[in-house]
Amino acid sequence: MSPRSYRRLVDIEEVRAYLAKENGLAIVSTTQADGRVLSSVVNCGVINHPITGVPCVAFVSAAGAARLSHVRRGSQATIAIRRDWTWRSVTGPADLIGPGALPDGIDAEALRLLMREVFQAAGGTHDDFDEYDRVMANEERVAVFVVPERILGNY
């Protein structure tokens, strides 16, 4: 029996549950300046945006990742998640919060805790969160929040 292949609208809470079925592994795609799509694998989870409170798909990114420059340039992001023969995707603008881009209300301590929250929402665990914090700070990691404008999937 093959699964239904048509798309349907889903909501962010369904995406949260869907990510939790396995692990937070997903593909994030952004658009490069020349129009080509760049895709890479990330661990992500659903958390509330730290400024707006809107549930978003979030992940932590290396500071030098090309996807960050695409987002800064205005590219939207699409997160695609597959489990067995089903999928969900979330598309929308992305907000970046990191050492070089701290919005009002987010200081270094709030950023440290935010990185942990994103990591844990993506299914991450760590034996030494002090070490995790040091690595995130030393590598100038950035939290990425994809604000859902369109959520699709099949079942």
Q: What is the pLDDT of residue 154?
A: 83
Measured CA to CA, the distance from residue 9 to residue 7 in angstroms comes to: 7
Q: Does pLDDT of 63 surpass 80?
A: yes
Mean pLDDT for 38-55 is: 95
- Which domains are delineated in the chain? 8-153 (2.30.110.10)
Q: What is the mean pLDDT of the chain?
A: 91
**Distance of CA 134 to CAs 1, 14, 47, Å?**
49, 33, 22
Who contacts 124 (Cβ-Cβ below 8 Å, separation ≥6)? 24, 43
Structural tokens at position 92: 């929308």
Looking at residue 115, its pLDDT comes to 96
Question: 40 is written with which tokens?
Answer: 């890479």
Q: What pLDDT, on a 0 to 100 scale, did the predictor assign at position 30?
A: 98
Contacts of 82 (CB under 8 A, 6+ apart): none
Quick check: 137 pLDDT over 80?
A: yes
